[in-house]
């Protein structure tokens, strides 16, 4: 493994930890729900799948990694 790959993995790990900490300490529901996210509510059951939010986060991380590789 070369040095750039190792540094990229460390950066991704730090970003994941920071996002996890933010989601832990922010009030519930403060993470934005974008149009296109799937929300199914039934009696005693709620299912939320943030498909559009996941795509947005993926694009942002891809751009950041692309910038660091240049």
Q: What is the mean pLDDT of residues 52-56?
A: 85
Predicted model pTM: 0.52
What SS3 state is found at 48? strand
Q: What length is written for the chain?
A: 70
pLDDT band at residue 1 using 50, 70 and 90 as cut-offs: low
Q: What local confidence, expressed as pLDDT, does residue 29 receive?
A: 65
Nearest C-alpha neighbor of 39 from the set 20, 26, 23, 52:
52
Domain count, the chain: 1
> Residue 51 in contact with residue 37, Cβ under 8 Å?
yes
Range of the domain at 47: 3-69
Give the pLDDT of residue 66. 83
The mean pLDDT of 3-11, rounded to a whole number, is 78
pLDDT digits (tens, 9 = 90+) for 9-49: 888 888 888 888 877 777 776 666 778 888 889 999 988 88
């Amino acid at each position: 493994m070369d040095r750039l790959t190792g540094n990229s993995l460390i950066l991704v790990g730090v970003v994941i930890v920071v996002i996890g900490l933010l989601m832990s300490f922010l009030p519930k529901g403060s993470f934005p729900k974008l149009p296109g996210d799937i929300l199914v509510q039934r009696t005693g059951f709620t299912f939320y799948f943030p498909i559009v939010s996941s795509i947005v986060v993926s694009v942002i991380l891809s751009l950041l990694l692309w910038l660091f590789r240049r």
